[in-house]
A and B are shown apart, each in its own frame.
Chain A
């Protein structure tokens, strides 16, 4: 084995003289590393917040097996109403904009992939293994996230589950890498202004070529790439007039996007016609209401955003009946949980549970109208949920039954 590996590196990238760029070095990698710490830090935190916003602890909400999930759940608030639009808009848009930063960072450390000999100590072997997990999970998360946000599913696994466990691998390896490399970053900061010949730097080329671009130029190039993606996609998260600027955003064309049409959801016209009845359960007896009965109740209007996990949002004025009024009507006025089921016959997202603060929030509505007009069938006619700061798909459309429960004394 020793003879096979030998002392002299094989030709090509394993030899130091292969690497000629004068830009590589601790300073460049440190700046890119800090940029990734910020961007991927935001993406990681907002990603776990989104997992939590789905309230996987409540019936019918979990997509990741709750018995195996990490015990990090808290009750998702309803204030401010744009909370989920903000966290998820950041998650998707910053996630996409991280692509050029990640590419530049990987380029800056490429010589480290071709170390010779590949392993010199147990510590280094472990660290190289953790870096493999870091690079694999970082690219996996970004790649699956960006194709999913564009409705392309070139994989056989469930996106939500794979993206969740991929995030756990990323979080662990990213945190470790941060702890191990922060001293190096601080050292690069202390060494700023020193000539490269004065510092010992394993990332720097031993015989650098003449530069074709400055370090500042490369950073500006990377930043311009991130900025272009931000502009190209960000408008769909902000909504309104900004949507038109988002020249490549999947939802640039829709002022008021539809996530799933009635036809795709299998909600047939006869189900939403005059025979439609909303059934309220949970009390001593079931209550059945036609759409006219609902329209005869006290109508409330709220201006609330609907924000999709895929990173778009749209703010509209919704009109309908307070969910808390329906709880009272069902005979469970102090309900702290409601399971809302759709006319949609199948699919994971045909039902969703709300927590107590969500269903008792006075702004939470079973909406019948939007912008003063009846909902279109693709937006959930005859009636749909709209709850402040709730992930878009949990605002169940074509509501068929609502089961109110009081679980705590």
Chain B
């Protein structure tokens, strides 16, 4: 009966009640902090960042890559994907974003980071290119 009305095992409901109790408590605390609205914007933005920005971008690029490169697509998408993961993770350093704060608190700036990233990216493409040539010559 409950299963038919609710759509799942009663334990499913109990689990959600427990989880939402804790989430609700956290939400009340968040509502009370300074710039709570800004945090709410960030939480909503976090979902949109992936579902509305990143996913359409990378899947669109991947589709274009497959059409353009055919069977050789992996030799581009793997080094490029790895390089872009580094951009995503080290975004503020590579875009020089925290530079002012870093200089003020630590007495240093972000020098040489873009160069390191370019070198690693170049290295990834070189490895990929070598693997491509070796595999093609064997065929």
Contact = CB atoms under 8 A, between A and B. Distances in A.
B99 to A, nearest CB: 8
Contacts of B25: 168
Nearest to A137: B43
A139 B8 CA distance: 28
Contacts of A212: 66, 71, 73-74
Most buried by B among A65, A135, A162: A162
Contacts of A100: 85
B22 A172 contact: yes
A179 B17 CA distance: 14
Interface string A99-113: 110010011001001
Contacts of A156: 34-35, 38
A167 B96 CA distance: 28
Given A106-B55, A136-B46, A264-B105, A165 B29 contact: yes
Given A99-B89, A106-B50, A162-B30, A151 B16 contact: no
Contacts of B134: none
Interface in A74-131: 96, 99-100, 103, 106-107, 110, 113, 120-124, 126-127, 129-130
Contact of B39 (A155, A179, A213, A228): A155
Interface in A142-161: 143-144, 146-147, 150-158, 161
What's the dominant secondary structure at chain B's contact region? helix
Interface residues of B, number: 68
A273 to B, nearest CB: 21
A370 interface: no
Contact of A146 (B43, B66, B89, B104): B89
B92 A213 contact: no
Contact of A150 (B12, B86, B93): B93
